[in-house]
């Protein structure tokens, strides 16, 4: 219920809101004369590997706007305040990356060439505000590892300096997600937690799909996509333990993917039905539970993906 005069307690989320409000910057604060130092193939490779992150920035901005009323109705007033700065953060990431694409002279990979991007965006939109925050945490950990490579390797170049700025914003996003989910977790039952772990598996599967397509471009830029994904997965496992989703701590020193949740095929079918999917159902029953294809197949048959692919 919407409250006219809510208690805005002085909690971590309000402090993050203050930090975010003081930290605003725009594309006008970027030194666009800084060198890119990539040849045309390198520029194309950057444009391509950046594409999922670029869509992720837009997806986060749109999703936050969608979740904000849910926070208000739940009386989570300081989270609601904080999210306004989150939207601003993602808006400027979207803006500066758009301008970077113009500077590179290349466009992002199309949805048709990389439909996994749309599946990822679609998966983030499912569920309630807790699902969304969990998905955003996973996305932010992907973005963090991506930007960190360039912030480190291209310190004095355009994308490197841009990445350093974006990383400061992303650290606030992770702090928010960790805090919000840690508070929420004790109130979630076993099935709800299981659904969150399944969502994690699905998002990581889609990331692997994207990496398969973009692996050659990553090599052009001097990094191995699977190494980066390993770091993302280790981060996700660490955060899942930190927020109380996974009881067991991740193995020390490893870059291990979190153990997969057993797939609930009936739940998958219900999910597919909710999505209003049309056309023949993928034969979910005949697939191996741990094949890594099932959730993708379930989603990629959806009308929105088929329409995009046919474009
Ligand atoms: Fe961002
Ligand atoms: Fe973010």
Q: How far is the CA of 252 from the centre of ligand 2 (A)?
A: 26
Q: From the first residue on, what is the mean pLDDT of each consecutive set of 10 residues in the chain (311 residues)?
A: 87 97 96 96 98 98 97 96 98 98 98 97 96 98 98 95 98 98 97 97 97 97 96 96 91 70 62 42 30 37 44 45
Among 272, 273, 252, 76, CA closest to 176: 76
Residue 8 lies in a domain: no
> Which residues fall inside 5 Å of ion ligand 2, going by CB?
140, 170, 173
Distance between Cα 263 and ligand 1 center (Å)? 30
Q: Are residues 255 and 279 in the same domain?
A: no
Within this chain, do residues 229 and 294 fall inside the same structural domain, yes or no?
no
Tokens of 156: 């004095």
Count of C-beta atoms within a 10 Å radius of residue 168: 12
Claim to verify: residue 41 and residue 82 sit in the same structural domain: yes
Q: How many domains does the chain have?
A: 2
State in Å: Cα 161 to ligand 2 middle: 17
Residue 215 included in any domain: yes
Residues in the chain, overall count: 311
DSSP string covering 55-110, please? Answer: HHHHHHHHHHHHHHHHHHHTT-HHHHHHHHHHHHHHHHHHHHHHHHHHHHT--PPP
| Same domain as 50, residue 133 | yes
**270 shares a domain with 253:** no
Residues 82 and 129 in one domain: yes
Cα(117) to ligand 2 centroid in Å equals 16
- d(CA 90, ligand 2 centre) in Å: 6
Residue 31 lies in a domain: no
With CA atoms as reference, report the closest residue to 48 among 8, 118, 107, 115. 107
In a domain, 275, yes or no: yes
pLDDT, position 37: 93
Q: How far is the CA of 150 from the centre of ligand 2 (A)?
A: 17
Task: Give burial (CB, 10 Å; 0-12/13-18/19+) of 309.
Answer: middle
CA–centroid distance, residue 284 to ligand 1 (Å): 34
Q: Is residue 2 a part of any domain in this protein?
A: no
170 in the same domain as 268: no
For 44, the enclosing helix (H) or strand (E) is helix 40-49
Task: Identify the domain containing residue 45 by its residue range.
Answer: 36-261
Residue 9 Cα to ligand 2 midpoint, Å, equals 24
Of 198, 184, 204, the C-alpha closest to 244 is 184
* 291 shares its domain with 254: no
Q: Give pTM, 2 decimals.
A: 0.84
Q: Which-ligand-closest: CA of 86?
A: 2
- Ligand closest in space to the Cα of 58: 1
Confidence (pLDDT) at 257 = 72
CATH number at residue 217: 1.20.1260.10
């Amino acid at each position: 219920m919407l409250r006219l005069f809510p208690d805005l307690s002085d909690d971590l989320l309000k402090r993050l809101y203050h930090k975010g409000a003081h930290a605003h910057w725009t594309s006008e604060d970027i030194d666009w004369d800084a060198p890119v130092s990539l040849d045309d193939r390198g520029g194309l490779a950057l444009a391509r590997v950046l594409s999922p992150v670029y869509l992720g920035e837009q997806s986060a901005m749109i999703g936050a706007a969608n979740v904000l009323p849910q926070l208000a109705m739940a009386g989570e007033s300081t989270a609601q305040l904080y999210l306004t700065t989150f939207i601003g953060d993602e808006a400027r990431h979207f803006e500066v990356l758009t301008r970077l694409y113009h500077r590179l002279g290349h466009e992002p990979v199309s949805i048709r060439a990389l439909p996994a991007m749309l599946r990822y965006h679609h998966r983030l939109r499912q569920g309630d505000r807790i699902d969304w925050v969990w998905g955003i945490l996973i996305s932010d950990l992907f973005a963090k590892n991506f930007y960190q490579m360039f912030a480190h390797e291209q310190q004095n170049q355009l994308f490197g300096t841009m990445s350093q700025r974006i990383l400061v914003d992303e650290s606030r996003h992770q702090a928010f997600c960790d805090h919000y989910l840690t508070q929420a977790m004790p109130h979630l039952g076993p099935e709800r937690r299981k659904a969150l772990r399944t969502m994690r598996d699905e998002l990581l599967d889609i990331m692997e799909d994207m990496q398969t397509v973009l692996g050659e471009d990553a090599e052009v830029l001097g990094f191995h996509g699977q190494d980066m994904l390993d770091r993302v997965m280790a981060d996700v496992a660490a955060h899942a333990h930190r927020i109380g989703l996974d009881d067991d701590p991740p193995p020390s020193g490893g870059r291990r993917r979190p153990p997969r949740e057993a797939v609930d095929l009936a739940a998958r079918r219900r999910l597919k039905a909710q999505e209003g999917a049309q056309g023949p159902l993928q034969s979910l029953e005949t697939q191996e539970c741990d094949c890594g294809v099932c959730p993708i197949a379930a989603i990629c048959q959806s009308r929105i993906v088929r329409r995009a692919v046919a474009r």
